[in-house]
Structure 1
Amino acid sequence: MAAITVCIMCVTFKKSKTKQTHKRSQPHTPGGIQLEKFVAARGGKHSWGTPPFSIVAALIGYGIVLFAPPVLNDPDTYWHIAAGRWMLQHHAIPHADPFSYALNGAPWVAHEWLSEVLMALAYRAAGWSGIHILFGLATAATSGVLARYLARWLSQPAASVVFILGTACISGSLLARPHLLALAALTLWTSGLLTARDRGMAPSVLLLPLMVIWANLHASFVFGLGLVLPIAVDAVVEAKSGRGLIARRWGIFLGAAIGASILTPNGWHGLLFPFHLMRMATTSSIDEWEPTSFQTLQPLEGALVALLYVAFSRHVRLPIGRLIILLGLLHLALHHARHQMLAGIVGAMVLAMPLGQAFADAEREGTSRRSSPLWLFGAIACVALLSAIRLTHPVERTDGPASPIAALNHVPIEIQREHVFNSYAFGGYLIFRGIKPFIDGRADVYGDDFISTYLAAMTPNRAVFEGLVDKDGIRWTILPARSPAVAVIEALPQWQRIYADGIAVVDVRVADPRHHEESAE
């Protein structure tokens, strides 16, 4: 990931015009010519000039993720690291569940295996600071590529506004999970497709190995495949000649991309996985799969308001393919809150060219400025410095909504070996600590029926819980302190509380009191 980030920075210094000309040529302003001559006269050797927008954006993204504690707040981070650790130990990708006792041995292919191995390696190298660095580099890559593409079409003030509105939509998903690593691949992929379309060319074959990597990082690669067709439609519709040839080239690329995407442990089944997950009825009980709520101010709301204002005031015209993409993104973002990040990043890139054309008559810089390569070395130095600060101030995990650290430490080892009934949010931490949970964040493994039974027990439903105790031989429970199921469990005569704090409550099933009375007699 570090190599990808550095490569993105290096591309910034390629000798080319940073502003693409639109359909009608625009003369440079006299001031722009003077500035260009001034920079040329200086030769770029003794003046740093203006820092590239992409480098500034990348450094900001890196710094935010590097020092933001909420990045580690997701319970799935724990089991992703544990899965990567398992793969490094066994030198294999699991095809059966090795973690949960309730579904031990059930079919499960680690479709995000590459992300999980990277996470395990980062954790092995530098603990939680290593996780911050890994995801910081991924965010830097995403920010740098996005900023570079926006700067091709928009003046720096306009590009900055679009960048802020777009990246703000990531804020709710800024978590140490595979989707954040895959977001860098999504941004590179989208940039490659749109650049090919803007230049009237077929997409580069270099995007195909990127698709192989992406497909092994996260299931969002299917969305990337879905972007090809509408962008290809624009290329064909707006071509003045040779439409058949253009259609064939894009069609060949799409076929090759699909072929590249099945080079995973899941094979062609990976293409169907996202649709299977979205069809699950019980995913609606998971926060990120709920519809976007506007009861509180959302970044998506700000982006939509800004878009509507510009669209009406500047008469923004979108080609049919880009319009289809934008409407699809809006549908996904409203239907599932987790898709706001797709709408923010891809939406900003899809709108860059139309917005640039809409603002063509407004005052803008109009010329490219060569920045000294010193900025590249300065950026690398900043990354090294920030990383050193992070490493010299290690992250110490404390109790949190997904981390019942103190509670688990108070559970005797012999009890930990027994079957547990745990909350969905605690499953990842239990796996991380080497304890087989009842349930964890892998909704695709458990399925609707199992999750429905779990939700019923947590409602709480005494009969359902007792049925699970008898069926699975549950010996202890670890649940959130405010869970209504705690009161029901502790009302049962054979259950006793052994620990409680503001995060979690631990109860243990003891011998039946009636059995003790009979033995005493």
Structure 2
Amino acid sequence: MKSWILAWLAFLPFVLIRAENLAESDTFWQVRTGILTIAHARIPSADPFSWTVGGEPWTLNSWGFNVVLGLSYQAAGLVGVALASACLVAVIGGLVLLLARQLGASPVVSACVLLIGTPLLTLYLSARPQLIDYIAVLALVMLLRWLIEVRQPAWPLLAIAVLTIVWVNLHAAALLGVAITGVSILLVCLKRSTRRRSGWFLAALLITMLCSLVNPYGAGLLAQTLQVKSESTVITEWQPFNPADPLQLVMFALGLLGLVVAARRGDAVFTAAIFVAACGSVAAMRVLPIFLLLALPVLASFASHEAVMLYFASRRRMLTQGATAVVVIAVGVAVFNLPFLGRPDPTHFPSASIKAIPPGCKLFNAYRFGGLVILERPDVLVSVDSRNDLYGAERVTQSLRVLDGQVDLDEGLAGADCVLVPPTSGLAGRLRTSADWNLKSAETTAELFIRR
């Protein structure tokens, strides 16, 4: 057990390094929504943040996670948000190692596999409710495997019920658990040694289906999930798997390798989970990290071959020194970055220009900037933010056309008092030469224009 704890501790510096900058626009409006939910003791039902869709019905697919972020922000500002998210990432790493241990992997090999996979996952380990999905899927796989292994499956079923209820209220992606459980039943029934447990898996499927309804929107969760997908066609993370992207290709290849290994071993639960994640990844690249995370424990077990262990033993001193050097460097970087923990990524967000926005201004803004404006300037109404399911694909597309300077200024900026857009955008170039707009603030990330 000591070796497994050391493997997990070696992962923590990389967690802190990732937590340095908050780079996702979602994080900021989720914090403000969490604060709003806490203040009014109810979930918002209409949009309070924009002037383009203000007052329209709004369904929150992560109300519980928003509250967690809101509480973290109230306790310690954005540093608290970053630390809360870092804790969730640490749990993800711990679950990967626990599953690898359950599969008989070596702690040294598992640590290496986890650290090799971490750079591939870095972009996805941001302060967003998807962190809950990663934890929940890994935990569900562990519980489903226990349904096969333990003598009294009642307590794993109870744990699955609790997990599903918590999951669906933190993030509405709990239907993924239903799919994994459903495919697991088919594979359990096909294998003679596990067929006798099929009744327990049917019970698990029923539990995940019923417990997924224990949320403020009930059965409306499914319709809301489908709406998010249909209204996100212009968002990169909702695009299908792109084999021309090297990062996606490597992640997908490792996931497929994990699927092949799990299938050859006859591991019904891991095969089902990785298969469902593979299908999800083909449909939307945002599922890729789940695909890879599920494959890592399987790959760690596969790599813990006797020949590999003999090589490790023969090169123990060299490998120990190398691993120690990597961890020490990571610790140094993490410590150096501590003063910047939780800051909005300065390469993406214009903090000074957001502060310079006139009070009460109706702002036309770039898609990425909306979330931080909502958090830091609640007195300012935005034109769009990353709640693409609220705005719809048509409004988001129109906003991008205005940003590119492809429409008439009077028509595209009708109703806006000020504009916050990247200086490289077509709209910024046109506003600099317009007699109707005045440049008030300029940064490398954005320029703020005020209507004269």
Give the structure-1-normalised TM-score: 0.72
Distance in 1 (alpha carbons) for counterparts of 2:59 and 2:184: 32
SS at match of 2:439: strand
User: What is residue 481 of structure 1 aligned with on the other side?
Assistant: 423
Distance in 2 (alpha carbons) for counterparts of 1:402 and 1:142: 26
SS at match of 2:253: helix
Percent of residue pairs identical? 22
Task: Report if aligned partners of 1:167, 1:345 keep a CA contact under 8 Å in 2.
Answer: no
Alpha-carbon deviations, 1:457-486, whole Å to 9, x = none? 2232223x422433xx21110101211121
User: What is residue 15 of structure 1 aligned with on the other side?
Assistant: none
User: What is residue 451 of structure 1 aligned with on the other side?
Assistant: 396
SS at match of 2:372: helix
1:352, CA displacement in angstroms?
A: 6.9
Mapping of residues 216-295 of structure 1, within 5 Å? 216-240=169-193, 243=195, 246-280=197-231, 283-293=232-242
User: What is residue 444 of structure 2 aligned with on the other side?
Assistant: 502
CA, structure 1 residues 503+350, in 2 after alignment: closer, same or farther (shift >3 Å)? Answer: same
Alpha-carbon deviations, 1:211-264, whole Å to 9, x = none? 1111111122111121101222222222358x4x63333222211221111111
Determine if the alignment matches structure 1 residue 462 to structure 2 residue 407: yes
Alpha-carbon deviations, 1:394-443, whole Å to 9, x = none? 74736724422111223333xxx131111100100111121221100101
1:475 partner letter: D
- After superposition, the CA RMSD in angstroms is 3.5
1:78, CA displacement in angstroms?
A: 0.8
Determine if the alignment matches structure 1 residue 419 to structure 2 residue 368: no
SS at match of 1:220: helix
Task: Report if aligned partners of 2:7, 2:108 keep a CA contact under 8 Å in 1.
Answer: no
CA, structure 1 residues 459+320, in 2 after alignment: closer, same or farther (shift >3 Å)? Answer: same
Task: Report if aligned partners of 1:216, 1:264 keep a CA contact under 8 Å in 2.
Answer: yes
CA, structure 1 residues 310+137, in 2 after alignment: closer, same or farther (shift >3 Å)? Answer: closer
Moved more, 476-485 or 269-278: 269-278
User: What is residue 328 of structure 2 aligned with on the other side?
Assistant: none
CA, structure 1 residues 509+394, in 2 after alignment: closer, same or farther (shift >3 Å)? Answer: closer
Distance in 1 (alpha carbons) for counterparts of 2:293 and 2:338: 33
Distance in 2 (alpha carbons) for counterparts of 1:309 and 1:184: 18
CA, structure 1 residues 391+114, in 2 after alignment: closer, same or farther (shift >3 Å)? Answer: farther
1:441 partner letter: S
2:84 partner letter: L
Distance in 1 (alpha carbons) for counterparts of 2:140 and 2:179: 12
SS at match of 1:102: coil
1:397 partner letter: R
1:341, CA displacement in angstroms?
A: 0.9
Moved more, 149-158 or 439-448: 149-158
1:175, CA displacement in angstroms?
A: 0.7
Distance in 1 (alpha carbons) for counterparts of 2:92 and 2:189: 29
Alpha-carbon deviations, 1:242-292, whole Å to 9, x = none? x4x633332222112211111111211113333322223xx3432322344
CA, structure 1 residues 476+67, in 2 after alignment: closer, same or farther (shift >3 Å)? Answer: same
Distance in 2 (alpha carbons) for counterparts of 1:255 and 1:262: 11
User: What is residue 313 of structure 2 aligned with on the other side?
Assistant: none
User: Which protein shows a greater Rg?
Assistant: 1
The answer for unaligned runs of 5 or more in structure 2 is: 311-330
Task: Report if aligned partners of 2:363, 2:416 keep a CA contact under 8 Å in 1.
Answer: yes
SS at match of 1:170: helix
1:157, CA displacement in angstroms?
A: 4.4
User: What is residue 73 of structure 2 aligned with on the other side?
Assistant: 123
2:405 partner letter: P
1:123, CA displacement in angstroms?
A: 1.4
Alpha-carbon deviations, 1:111-154, whole Å to 9, x = none? 21111111111111122221222112111211112101111222
Distance in 1 (alpha carbons) for counterparts of 2:149 and 2:424: 55
1:346 partner letter: L
Task: Report if aligned partners of 1:233, 1:321 keep a CA contact under 8 Å in 2.
Answer: no
Aligned partner of 2:386 among 403, 418, 441: 441
Moved more, 100-109 or 161-170: 161-170
Task: Report if aligned partners of 2:97, 2:297 keep a CA contact under 8 Å in 1.
Answer: no
1:431 partner letter: I
CA, structure 1 residues 201+230, in 2 after alignment: closer, same or farther (shift >3 Å)? Answer: farther
User: What is residue 409 of structure 1 aligned with on the other side?
Assistant: 355
CA, structure 1 residues 58+129, in 2 after alignment: closer, same or farther (shift >3 Å)? Answer: farther
1:173, CA displacement in angstroms?
A: 0.5
Distance in 2 (alpha carbons) for counterparts of 1:402 and 1:339: 24
Task: Report if aligned partners of 2:37, 2:67 keep a CA contact under 8 Å in 1.
Answer: yes
- Say which structure is richer in helix: 2
